[in-house]
C-alpha cells in the first residue's frame, strides 16, 4: 500500500472517529469554473451587504494562496439535522443549524484534533482548517470531492443523507488519493424554487443572496425592506424552507452531537418578553449572537407586524 493511500485512510478514519459523516478529498488548484460564477454573482450584486464576499478574491479561488504549497483539500460534512421543529405554526422559527452551540466552535475543535492527529502520525504537515469562516468556496470543494452535488437551491446535497450538514475543510501541503465528483440528481424537480417565499432562487442553481430570508434576518444590519412584508413565514433567524421541501432530505437522520441539542429554555422561550439579559444568557455560545439582541428584536417585530392572520 502506497504512502498516499495509507495517509488518506488515516485522515478519513480519524475524521469518522471524530463524528464527521462524510469525507472527500480533491487536488488543490485554481477553481476556474467557479471563478466565472463568482464574478457574475458579485457583478450582479447578489451578495447584497455581504461585502466580505468580494474580499480575498484570489484566496477564494486558489487554496495555494491560503496554504503555501497546498496539494490537497479535505472536505468534511458534519450532521446537524434535528426533527424537532421549534415553534412550528405558533411562533418565531429559527434555522435548525442554530438550535445548539455555535457550529464554528464544535466543528473547528474537531478539525484541530484532526490536524494534530495528521501531524503526530505523518509528520511535518502544513495545513489550515476552515469552518465557514475563511475565504473558501466550501460547496465547490465538497462537490469536487464527491460529497454531493450543488442543488438548485445552491446547497450541497448528499444522495444518501440530504443537505443538513455543516461543511468544513482542511487544506494541506500533503498529496493524497483524490476522489471525484458525483452526478447531479436534482432532475426536473423545482420544489425548492417553488417554495421560496421571496423568490431568492432566481433560476436553477443560482441564489440571489440579497433576497434570501437568511440574509435579511442575519446579514442585513439595516431595516428589512417593506416589500418583504408577509413573506417570512415566521422565520426570525435563518430559514430552512428550501431544505425542508427537498425530496433528498427524506433521508436525513437525527444528529448525534450533544452540543447541537436545544435547551429547555429555548423550547419554552417567550419571544414577546425576551430581554437582552435573557438573550445574552441563552445564546451565549449560539450562532444567534451573530444578529445581536437588537437585530433579533427587529426580526421579531417585523414578522409579528406582518403576520398572516
Choose among 30, 83, 18, 40: nearest CA to 208.
Answer: 40
Q: Which of 132, 173, 244, 285 is catalytic?
A: 132
Q: Is there a contact between 141 and 74 (Cβ–Cβ < 8 Å)?
A: no
Rounded to the nearest angstrom, the gap between the alpha carbon of residue 47 and the centroid of all alpha carbons in its chain is 16
SS3 30: coil
Q: Cα–Cα–Cα angle for 42, 43, 45, nearest 5°?
A: 65
Choose among 179, 50, 189, 65: nearest CA to 128.
Answer: 65
Residue 208 bears catalytic tag: no
Instruction: For 222-245, write each residue's pLDDT tens digit.
Output: 999 999 999 999 999 999 999 999
- Per-residue DSSP letter, 260: G
Instruction: For 4-46, write each residue's pLDDT tens digit.
Output: 999 999 999 999 999 999 999 999 998 888 877 777 776 777 6
Cα-only R_g, the chain: 20
Q: What percentage of the chain exceeds 70 in pLDDT?
A: 94
| Residue owning grid cell 447541537 | 260
pTM: predicted TM-score of the whole model, two decimal places: 0.93
Where the chain has pLDDT below 70, the residues are: 1-2, 42, 46-48, 50-56, 89, 308-309
> What CA–CA distance (Å, rounded) separates 236 from 94?
6
Choose among 52, 42, 216: nearest CA to 134.
Answer: 52
Amino acid at each position: 500500500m502506497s504512502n498516499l493511500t495509507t495517509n488518506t485512510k488515516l485522515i478519513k478514519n480519524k475524521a469518522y472517529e471524530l463524528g464527521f459523516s462524510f469525507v472527500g478529498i480533491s487536488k488543490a488548484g485554481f477553481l476556474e469554473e467557479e471563478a466565472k460564477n463568482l464574478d457574475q454573482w458579485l457583478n450582479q450584486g447578489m451578495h447584497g451587504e455581504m461585502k466580505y464576499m468580494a474580499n480575498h478574491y484570489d484566496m477564494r479561488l486558489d487554496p495555494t494562496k491560503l496554504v503555501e504549497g497546498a496539494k490537497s483539500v479535505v472536505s468534511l460534512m458534519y450532521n446537524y439535522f434535528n426533527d424537532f421543529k421549534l415553534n412550528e405554526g405558533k411562533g418565531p422559527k429559527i434555522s435548525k443549524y442554530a438550535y445548539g452551540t455555535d457550529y464554528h466552535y464544535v466543528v473547528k475543535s474537531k478539525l484541530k484534533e484532526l490536524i494534530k492527529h495528521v501531524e503526530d502520525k505523518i509528520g511535518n504537515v502544513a495545513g489550515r482548517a476552515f469552518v465557514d469562516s475563511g475565504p473558501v468556496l466550501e460547496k465547490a470543494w465538497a462537490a469536487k470531492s464527491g460529497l454531493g452535488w450543488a442543488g438548485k437551491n445552491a446547497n450541497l446535497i448528499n444522495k444518501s443523507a440530504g443537505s443538513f450538514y455543516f461543511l468544513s475543510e482542511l487544506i494541506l501541503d500533503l498529496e493524497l488519493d483524490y476522489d471525484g465528483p458525483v452526478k447531479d440528481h436534482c432532475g426536473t424537480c423545482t420544489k425548492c424554487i417553488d417554495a421560496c417565499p421571496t423568490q431568492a432562487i432566481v433560476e436553477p442553481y443560482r441564489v440571489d443572496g440579497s433576497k434570501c430570508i437568511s440574509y435579511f434576518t442575519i446579514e442585513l444590519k439595516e431595516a428589512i425592506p417593506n416589500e418583504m412584508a408577509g413573506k417570512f413565514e415566521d422565520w426570525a433567524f435563518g430559514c430552512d424552507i428550501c431544505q425542508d421541501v427537498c425530496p433528498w432530505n427524506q433521508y436525513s437522520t437525527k444528529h448525534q452531537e450533544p452540543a447541537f441539542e436545544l435547551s429547555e429554555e429555548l423550547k419554552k422561550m417567550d419571544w414577546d418578553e425576551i430581554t437582552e439579559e435573557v438573550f445574552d444568557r441563552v445564546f451565549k455560545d449560539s450562532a444567534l449572537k451573530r444578529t445581536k439582541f437588537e437585530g433579533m428584536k427587529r426580526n421579531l417585530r417585523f414578522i409579528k407586524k406582518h403576520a398572516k392572520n
